[in-house]
Every structure is written in structure tokens, then in C-alpha cells.
Homo-oligomer: A and B are copies of this chain.
Amino acid sequence: MSLNSIHTVVLIGAGNVATHLAEAFQNTGREIIQVYSRSEISASALAESAGIPYTCDLKKINKNADLYIISVTDSSLLQVAQEFYAGDKLVVHTSGFHALDALAGTSENTGVFYPLQTFSKNRTVKFLTIPLCIEANNDHNLRLLEDLALSFTSDVRFIDSVQRKKIHLAAVFACNFTNYFYGIAGEIIKSSNVPFDILKPLILETAEKVMEMDPSSAQTGPAKRNDLAVMEQHLAMIDDEARGDLYLKISELIRKKFEHPTNH
């Protein structure tokens, strides 16, 4: 182990990502010496489950850690970064959205440690195959983060702030919107007393297909086949206006992609 490697960590934040990171760090044998959250409920919940001290006061953050991880919501990050000063201690954030320079005033040694995954509390996530996107303000810090990241996952990526922001946007389509559509699908079939579980093999296979195929090659359905009669009857079955609008617009985009001319 090098003199410079990371053993002790302070976790600033106690949300979904912070909770999963805490567990992952402890699993690699590192020590989380403190958790901060402005919410006492969140701080104490994570601190108790992980068996570590907590504070709700940024001024009381332990100064002796090797690494400070700011893992708060994107909407709180800039404020936390402004209020927290770490001198020359290594500070990283875990945001896909914010640039590295969000931490420019926080420390002389900064980085980003962005696990590209969807995290919910009460669900275990295996870090082993999660892409960890890292960036740092100099090569030395980047090597420290690479070393750290490799103890979590085999998939470490050097991603700059511009690329990361695009990945973050892509993840909204690939994950957040997709999950929302699972919910729409569930509501549609529950209205005829068919349980959600009938969709599970389809949902899983749709995802598994693109592990091996390009999404374009994997595309199926009435819009791809340009089956106007089916699309029109589907539209007539949707009683929610906003949902009907979505159906129409996405179907049009799929039709265009597969080169069927628009005719209404």
C-alpha cells in the first residue's frame, strides 16, 4: 500500500448514494470515520446502521480523514461545497451532473467519483460491475481515485465533466424515463385486473437484448412496423391526454427512425 492511499473517509451526505457508498467502502476494509447530513434523521439513520459517528454541523467535520466524499443531491451540492473548506485534503463529489470545478473553492485537491447506477435505499446493489467514472484536478489525485475505484469495481472510466454531464442526461432516458414507463404499463394492465408481474419477463428481456444487440436492431412493435391501425386503436384506448400525447410522439419518432414517412 502506498503512503498516499486512502484508508479513512468522511461521508458528507446520507441519501441513497451515500448509503450505498458507505456499505461499499466498509466492504473494501476502509473506515468511514464520520457521516454528515444536515438532516439529523438521515445522518443518525445511516450512522447507526453503519456503526459510525455523525454530525449535522459542517464545522464539526473531522479534519483527519484521507478523503471527503460529498454525496448530496445535485440541488444541495454547490451550497455544501461553498460552506465546507478542506484545505489540501482530497475532496470528491459523486454527482453526474456537476463539473469538477464545483469543488474549486473547497480544496486544493479535488475529484469526482460518480457511480453510474440507480440507487434506492433498501435495495442492495453489487458494486462489482458498476462503471465508476472518475476525474481529478491532477494526475496524482486521479491515480489515487483510480486505485480506490478499482477496489470497488472492474469498470473504472476516465470521464471528464462534459462527458459526465452527457452520461447523466443519457441515464435519465435509459433509467428514469424507462422506469416511469414501467409504471405506466403497470397501470394500464392493472385496469383490467392483470397483475404487473405478467410484464416482468418482457421488461427483463428488453433490457437483456441490448446487452448484446444494438437498440436499433432490438426494436420491435407497431411503430417500427408502421402499423397505423394498431397505433390508432392504442391511442383510442388511452384515456389520459398527456399519456396519449406521449404515445403519439414517441411512435412518430420510432416511425421516422425506421424511415416510414409521417402521414398525419
Which residues of chain A have a CB within 8 Å of any CB of chain B? 16, 73-75, 97, 116-120, 123, 125, 129-131, 133, 155, 157, 159, 162-163, 165-186, 188-189, 191-194, 196, 198-225, 227, 229-230, 233-234, 237-238, 242-243, 245-247, 249-250, 252-254, 257
Q: Complex formed: what's the CA distance from A191 to B252 in Å?
A: 23
Pairwise interchain contact B206-A118, C-beta atoms closer than 8 A: yes
**What DSSP secondary structure best describes chain A's contact surface?**
helix
Sample (18) of A-B pairs whose CB atoms are under 8 Å apart: A74-B225, A97-B233, A133-B198, A155-B201, A162-B192, A166-B188, A166-B191, A169-B188, A169-B237, A176-B222, A178-B178, A178-B181, A179-B215, A180-B219, A180-B257, A181-B181, A182-B215, A183-B257
Inter-chain CA distance A250–B119, complex, in Å, is 20
Given known pairs A166-B188, A176-B223, the reply for A207 and B204 (CB within 8 Å) is yes
* A159-B194, A201-B116, A221-B172 known; A179 vs B230 contact (CB < 8 Å): no
